[in-house]
Amino acid sequence: MPRSRAVAPLALPSALAVLDRLLRHYPSPDTELVYRNAFELLVATVLSAQSTDRRVNETTPALFARYPDAATLATAALDDVEALVRPTGFFRVKARAIITLSHQLVQDHGGAVPGDMDALTALPGVGRKTANVVLGHALGVPGLPVDRHVLRVAERIGLTRETTPEAVERDLCGVLPPEQWTAMSDGLILHGRRICRPRPLCPQCEVRDICRYPFKTAGRAALDLDAPAAGAPTRRRKAGVPIVEASRTPAPDKSGAYVSRTTKADRRAPKAESRTPNAARRSSSAVGARKRGRR
């Protein structure tokens, strides 16, 4: 069983420093999903899985015009809902999920969206991220949604070493006051979409002076003070095996002996005669026959 490595706790000023810089760039961070009430945000968030907020915003007006609340959507025909949500992808699964969750909202909560994590995650198609989105944005309950952008950016900046949504949520919530949870999530999501992409736009980043991302901080102190300083990567090699340059230095073969490596110049040079004795005799006979024929 691998031995666990002690990790220093994250410092509160570090998380607040990141949030302060994000708020300079995004003064009022918010979800980019368009909604008018908690029910619309709940449905829109379910539809946003494996889709984009823009595509969902283009789809939901027609859906909510026909089914404005849980009571009407709970009795909707599956084929009709599938046709309406088709642009968001996985439309069969999503249509069934929003119809079923609407039916459960009517049956268990009188058609209202509950303001409780356990009750929300008990609904079909609703996970912890979706529940946090609804709680933090539509119901005024502190919540920190963790999507792929929050996962990438929080670890890259140095706010966490974790790689699962639940663990990242726990780390961030542990170093921020509850009233800042939703703002931190929205700021990290916007930053991940616009600046801190998989290939980040570091020169435009508001957090670059305290970010621990390699090749960017140039040795400045990282948020995680026990993390190695950023800088050029070291070349890894097996112990006892010297690093050699191709086409200049001999490389070891399987037995450990050093042999010369062929270069392009070597391949262009004429090859030495390597024919067998039989082939040489056949060639000599052919030459003799040709000479006799000319006589």
Three-state DSSP class for residue 160:
coil
Q: Which of 20, 118, 129, 224 is catalytic?
A: 129
Convert 27-48 to b/e letters by CB count within 10 Å (16 or more is b).
eebebebbbeebbbbbbbbbbb
Catalytic residue check, 147: yes
- Contacts for 117-121: CB closer than 8 Å, 24+ residues apart: 117/143, 120/42
pLDDT at 48: 96
Positive or negative, the CA dihedral 76, 68, 41, 118 is negative
Catalytic residue check, 238: no
Residue ranges with strand state E in the chain: 251-252, 258-259
pLDDT at 210: 86
Q: Give the N- to C-terminal CA distance of the chain in Å, as an integer.
A: 88
Please name the residues in contact with 206: beta carbons below 8 A apart, sequence gap of 6 or more.
21, 22, 24, 25, 191, 195
pLDDT at 123: 95
pTM higher than 0.85, yes or no? Answer: no
Q: Which of 147, 171, 186, 224 is catalytic?
A: 147
Convert 93-124 to b/e letters by CB count within 10 Å (16 or more is b).
ebbebbbebbbbbbeeeebebbeeeebbeebe
**Residue 80 belongs to what H/E stretch?**
helix 78-85
pLDDT at 272: 47
The whole-angstrom separation of Cα 118 and Cα 293 is 101
Mean pLDDT by 10 residues, the chain (295 residues): 44 75 94 97 96 97 98 98 97 97 97 97 95 98 96 92 94 95 97 95 90 60 42 44 40 43 47 51 58 57
The whole-angstrom separation of Cα 247 and Cα 263 is 5
* Cβ–Cβ < 8 Å for 48, 88: yes
The whole-angstrom separation of Cα 143 and Cα 173 is 9
Domains (range + CATH), the chain: 12-203 (1.10.340.30), 241-295 (no CATH)
